[in-house]
Amino acid sequence: MKTSTLGIIGSMALASTLSSVALAESSQANTSGLYIGGNYGYLKVESDDDFDDSNDVTQGIIGYRFNPFLAVEGSHINFGRYGGSLANAETKGYTAALKGTLPITETVEIFVKGGQLWHETDYNVAGFSGSSDDKSLFAGAGVSFNVTENLLVNAQYTWYDVDINADNVSSDSKFETDFNQASVGAEYRF
């Protein structure tokens, strides 16, 4: 966690420096249109069972900004493999979100987003293997820094309310887990 935190802080400092330089070159960022991006970060899985773990997470993003304040966003996310010797799992999924942005300065903006995660989890619980498809809600917040007129870097935190249904373990095996993601990323606006 300490390495991830230092990486996020370093990225934010670099972005602030680059943003100042970029401002001299460009005075106005794109206010609407298509964007793509990606995130890499740290995932902490918290639950009341043996699924507790930490891991890397990767995410590819595509979105559309209607104006400087509102966007819709979709992504593919890989939470990786997590858990212990008694219970472990691997989760991947797709998201759809509404994203609200508030420009603070010409180079800095904060954002919040929330939406739906559709995920598939391959699990192994005490020797019983299976797969679970489900949907979950998520919410997040972050800060973005303009590097150029079209390129932004960001740091964000996202919480996912993920449940793993292991029906073949017993009829009432529903593992309630929270995925907590801290990540850095980049966004390119067309």
Q: List the domain boundaries for the chain.
A: 2-189
Q: Whose CA is closest to 92, among 47, 114, 59, 116?
A: 59
Other C-beta atoms lying within 10 Å of the C-beta of residue 66: 11
Report the distance separating Cα 115 and Cα 72, nearest Å: 10
Q: Provide mean pLDDT across the span 169-184.
A: 76
Q: Whose CA is closest to 154, among 185, 109, 190, 110?
A: 185
The architecture (CATH level 2) of 2-189 comes to Beta Barrel (2.40)
pLDDT in tens, 3-62: 455 555 555 554 444 444 444 344 445 688 999 999 999 998 887 666 667 889 999 999
* pLDDT of 103: 94
Tell me: pLDDT of 130 over 60.
yes
Tell me: pLDDT of 76 over 80.
yes
Specify the range with the lowest mean pLDDT, choosing from 80-84, 94-98, 173-177: 173-177
Cβ proximity of 74 and 98 under 8 Å: no
CA 155, 161, 162 angle in degrees (round to 5)?
A: 110
Parallel/antiparallel/unpaired status of strands 87-103 and 70-83: antiparallel
Band (119; pLDDT cuts 50, 70, 90): very high
Look up the pTM and report it.
Answer: 0.76
C-alpha distance across the termini of the chain, in Å = 34
What phi, psi does 177 have (nearest 5°)?
A: -130, 155
